Structure 1
């Protein structure tokens, strides 16, 4: 019985088109570990799935071939295992023979999961796969071949940018991203977990919208209890996940980890040059690939500052789980039940929650635009910072919505457990920010100071006449 698929509307549309198409299809699905790639295919295509083979991490050619043979046995529903193929060319001949019995009048879906792991050094897997696709599979109109991989960088380089037999052969690509806040809420409800928006937001700040992490949330537990159990107790799933996460996605993951660790230290982000210097990397193609790999897998995001080009881009750590882990778990001594409650009373919690909330707002710009009534207006989201010269005031704006209707929303994002209050000091900071921005950018557009908060902003003398529009936490869930 297929489980309900939460959200994923664009992806389901692509799969529907794939199944109803009148020709052979080769679909690539990219997405980080535990984001739900396999779940999506197994559930959406359950009725048509005739063969499935999952690569084994760090296994050699003999194990991968034996694993293929067992997958074929399962698909054939045979009590006797077929002979283990001697190489991948023979493996695909076996597969063609089996599929020929299945290709009748309805689609037949073949799934290769963790595809990059099947391709071991000198195994000839990719060449054999390309040959199989070009000479046989591509001529079977009912055949739909889906290849999944968590190692996004490998998939992009070897499949999407393939210069050999698979060049331009991919008919559709799905990049599966973590759930939004709304999808996370829907997912928890589907599992019988009912929490208010503030509690879900706290969970999202710690683990992001990764379905497999959210699956660990038990009914009747508060966000604090869940975080305690998953991160701080001895065998908590998310206490050990970090060590596996990067190594399962990237070869030589130490450089990837080094970049993520540096970005975790700096909420405002770092330029490419600053990251390279901090990590002791060299400028060049290899480093460019590291950035691309982390970006494609959704761990870091490049933000182009207002009126600048990608050369001036600022990189930020956008993976909530990595940020939380590096801030509170990595090399920390505090463990056991109640740890998170203690931490959440301190200063490190305040700085982290501010940073995490900002990162979430930057991922939910569409929801913010909708709440501001500008969903239909062409808008470019960016950040901006001015490093002052001697005797000047500097300024940093983390989210600017530069609109085609001659206006700019300067957004201030504040995480609080109640109504946020603007005091005199903060009001002066806001005024200074807007003044410096106008002076340095020479913009002629109308500036709308905008508050994005959890529970709204208190209407006082510093709010009136200063703040033009407001977005609350509940708007991010729409």
Structure 2
């Protein structure tokens, strides 16, 4: 059963109805469900399926390719392994030609970047295969897929050579939203209330492979305990394997992730360079682009600033959780997380994790505020004075075309959140500093985004103009 992915499924099915060859590139971070989507949508049209092997030599990749082709062509004697990729694609052409005479058919190259090992000649051979033959076969759909999203963007989508402007459709597959995660778990007969689902998402994100390991009859704490803190748990050793499988110099990528995990409010490019002891130049820019395209970090342009002053934030839930609670943890074993989840450290971290989720569900927040149809720009904002005057940090600003700004405060709590006199003063100070330093003429609406709402009292009634509850984050967008 495919949960969500309606837009992506429609794109894939549309390719079957055209009268021309299609070359589809699909990319997204590891474990997000790319292979599952392709194999399920195209289960009746798939005539060849080959997956690259991580850190394998060209002879090994060629042998694996030949074995896959032998299996699909159902020959009684296995095909001989070709000496190079040019020959491999000639053999593939011979097999495909007979298959595509009858109907539109699909061939699928999974983990495409892994096949293109050093000096393999694979990408050049694929370019020749597509340009000289495949692009003229009206009954052929070629799908190439990769978890190394930055490689896919650089070498395929933005290719300057033989594949320049050859991609007919592209899909960047993102993790599940809260609603999709809830639907997916229900399809597996796992029923949890939305507060527990939110806690799961704060740790696992919307990664289908992780959610697949959730067991019925276990609470969120029990599931996390088993997956992260017990021997052979699914996520016990996932962190390093995740980055090593995607990036050649993964240590540098991990250094950025560590730096951002330690600064939840985010860092500028220069601050990242300083924290990680990098040298300035294109290497850092490329590294950040790779993390952005792979979905591990997000870039935000602060209100009233330009792109050079962008703030980078960690967006991968599992990475943030691993670095805070799993790495170097000595309290592993059954029951260890159940105890930690009641600690002050967890409660403090939850606020930052909830903010991370809200930033991924801005369309749902806009719907709850009744401004889905209004053009908006979203950003964070901070003022760090060099003098003794007060600075401030704003979690989320929704700058609206209708001359209004929602100044959002994001608070995670186990019950209704209460605004007391002190916190009301802090919110008002944020509004005042923001108005003064930006010189905005727009109306500013202080807005609360909370788990269970904000308790009605004089401070809320006199200050807060709008509010959004956790339930709204689970909404389906029309």
Tell me the TM-score range normalised by the shorter chain.
over 0.9
Does the alignment pair 1:391 with 2:388?
Answer: yes
SS at structure 1 position matched to 2:407: strand
Aligned to 1:200: 197
Task: Give yes or no for contact 2:221–2:341 (8 Å, CA) kept in 1.
Answer: no
Does the alignment pair 1:213 with 2:210?
Answer: yes
Aligned to 1:80: 77
Aligned to 1:6: 3
Equivalent residue pairs, number: 475
Aligned to 2:254: 257
SS at structure 2 position matched to 1:283: coil
Aligned to 1:60: 57
Does the alignment pair 1:48 with 2:45?
Answer: yes
2:378 to 373, 381, 394: 381
1:284 to 266, 281, 285: 281
Distance 1:471 1:220 in 2: 30
Does the alignment pair 1:432 with 2:429?
Answer: yes
Does the alignment pair 1:160 with 2:146?
Answer: no
Which digits, 9 at most, give the CA deviation of each residue in 1:202-235, with x for residues without a partner? 0000010000000000011111101101111111
Aligned to 1:474: 471
Which digits, 9 at most, give the CA deviation of each residue in 1:223-265, with x for residues without a partner? 1101101111111111111110001011111100000000000
2:35 to 35, 38, 42: 38
Distance 1:189 1:299 in 2: 27
Distance 1:78 1:207 in 2: 43
Alignment of 1:204-243 (within 5 A): 204-243=201-240
Alignment of 1:122-133 (within 5 A): 122-133=119-130
1:365 to 338, 362, 365: 362
Aligned to 1:171: 168
Aligned to 2:15: 18
Give the root-mean-square deviation of aligned CA atoms.
0.9
Larger mean Cα displacement after TM superposition, 394-403 or 335-344: 335-344
1:116 to 110, 113, 117: 113
**CA drift at 1:465:** 1.4
SS at structure 2 position matched to 1:289: helix
Aligned to 2:397: 400
Which digits, 9 at most, give the CA deviation of each residue in 1:25-79, with x for residues without a partner? 1111111111000000000011100000000111101110110011101111223
SS at structure 2 position matched to 1:239: coil
Does the alignment pair 1:298 with 2:298?
Answer: no
Distance 1:81 1:351 in 2: 59
Distance 1:180 1:291 in 2: 24
TM-score, L = length of structure 1:
0.98
**CA drift at 1:392:** 1.2
**CA drift at 1:105:** 3.6
TM-score, L = length of structure 2:
0.98
Which stretches in structure 1 are left out of the alignment for 5+ residues? none
Distance 1:63 1:223 in 2: 42
Distance 1:276 1:287 in 2: 8
Larger mean Cα displacement after TM superposition, 4-13 or 128-137: 4-13
SS at structure 1 position matched to 2:274: helix
Does the alignment pair 1:461 with 2:458?
Answer: yes
Which digits, 9 at most, give the CA deviation of each residue in 1:78-113, with x for residues without a partner? 232111111111100110000011012421100000
**CA drift at 1:18:** 0.9
SS at structure 2 position matched to 1:101: helix
1:93 to 90, 96, 104: 90
Which digits, 9 at most, give the CA deviation of each residue in 1:188-214, with x for residues without a partner? 011111111101100000010000000
Task: Give yes or no for contact 2:28–2:173 (8 Å, CA) kept in 1.
Answer: yes
Which digits, 9 at most, give the CA deviation of each residue in 1:279-321, with x for residues without a partner? 1111111110000000000000001000111111000000001
Task: Give yes or no for contact 2:407–2:447 (8 Å, CA) kept in 1.
Answer: yes
Distance 1:152 1:391 in 2: 44
Aligned to 2:180: 183
1:322 to 312, 319, 340: 319
